[in-house]
Chains A and B, each alone.
Chain A
């Protein structure tokens, strides 16, 4: 506004012309705003996509050379990881990530699912109002805090158990409680909120008619939940589980503090190294091929996550088909 007034003052044109200038300049400015905003929106829109493409390219470019140099068979199926000696076999880490995640799922899914059922179906409203925010808070707690608590609370328990179980076994390598079992417990707690929140939503989305029909046939509340509601919500629950798997397999900070981080084959009371912790723990001091090999691990982890996402998409798609029919 000030600009135009000043303009008329300096150029001293007729009033009608001034109005015209004012009008056109406003139109131009309006058009400009439109275009600028469209560009801004476009940039925001493609940033995410561009990041994915860049990350994918970067991981392949920096991970592939090491894998090629080590040999894909040696890299994926070698059972010794000893960077100083130039041995870069990540089979123990792959198996550890898989068993660790499986263990977390075995402990976490039943607990999470039952909590979701409790929240969605049987909890009194006042209790629900207390539990629900607590679980949401659980989802927001930084992973390193889970690790710290694991190191202080979980590790000593497994140290005690280890000394009891392996008392007379001289071949056992004592881990002081930093082992796969501790990592599984910490991971299972970490994936709880994901599973609970998504399962609860899925259970709540089951149409009320299903329940009414079930009650009408004489089923009890519990029978209805386990025979009707959960089967009807299974694709939602499955996607919660898959997301939980995603979180567990990608977690590093928390389990680094409780897993022991030696690249051994997975066993409950073995000190183990996950794919993620392998990268985090060694990156800062690595150099040369060792560092490249860590990018190789990153690439393997990346492929894992992509596979999990594909599985998730398949589940979601089949779920949608199921409700459409």
Chain B
């Protein structure tokens, strides 16, 4: 008896959950269509009106779940965007996984997640996706705080990574061997770095580490080290070198004088009809969204 009644309650509960689920999501879906259309109109019309449009959206009860997976270097930017988006739309949940650009893109292609975040441009074999550039990242060249070298030319940087320059004394620093640190094969940051810097030669690493944080901490603890990492993630535990005399900063990245930069991409299935995802991307490109991108250390697209 007790078991049966328990079962019945459980069944009733799950049923009611299913029904309430439907009750919320069905009208929610309809709402989404209308609000995003309105939002799109507004963004094209006047930039100042975006805020009011967004405010209207929040009363329009956008709801549901967005799943995304991808680049670890985009973590700060995406988390800031997600936080702001969910604050505006309390009914929306965003599930974020950080397993790398490759996985993110693959899962987006397979439909396992709604948005694949990638810190590199899509490859030729990665088809069926529409990429949206939501921000630009500068890759900083970092050295240990004890290092006296402050500037390096793009050519010398290539020579350091190719193993042609092996001692800091050749670059005007102390007599100390250079420990060349980078990311693992397949990493978006490594792809970005090598695509820009290693034009004529192959990079030969002393350490290939599996995350931005590992690179920074390895450079922090290894006196002779040189490494590269997202400018967004670089803090004062290490020092960023200027490249050809250009210090990496928001201004030098925006005006493209800082040479080592790459796009942050949200990839969505080209045939996706998910209005929530559409609303998210529009939010990311809106002034508010770009503000979040800027605040989290990456650079807005305009």
Contacts and interface: CB of A to CB of B under 8 A. Distances in A.
Given A285-B103, A287-B105, A287-B123, A262 B181 contact: no
B299 to A, nearest CB: 22
A260 B180 CA distance: 10
B195 to A, nearest CB: 10
Interface stretch (B31-39, B185-193, B237-245): B185-193
A286 to B, nearest CB: 4
B222 A177 contact: yes
A174 B99 contact: no
B178 A285 contact: no
B70 to A, nearest CB: 10
Interface stretch (B48-56, B76-84, B203-211): B203-211
A176 to B, nearest CB: 4
A163 B176 CA distance: 9
B99 A260 contact: no
B63 to A, nearest CB: 31
B64 interface: no
- Chain A interface residue bracket vs B: 35 or more
Interface residues of B, number: 41
Nearest to A174: B177
B185 A84 contact: yes
Contacts of B207: 175-176, 178, 260-262, 271
Given A284-B100, A287-B123, A174 B166 contact: yes
Interface string A99-116: 000000000000000000
Interface string B252-296: 000000000000000000000000000000000000000000000
Contacts, number: 111
B186 A178 contact: no
Given A83-B185, A285-B187, A163 B205 contact: no
A262 B208 contact: yes
Contact of A173 (B1, B194, B206): B206
A170 B106 contact: no
A58 to B, nearest CB: 17
B209 A176 contact: no
Contacts of A163: 177
A260 to B, nearest CB: 5
B204 A173 contact: yes
B186 A260 contact: no
5 contacts: A173-B206, A176-B181, A176-B225, A260-B207, A271-B205
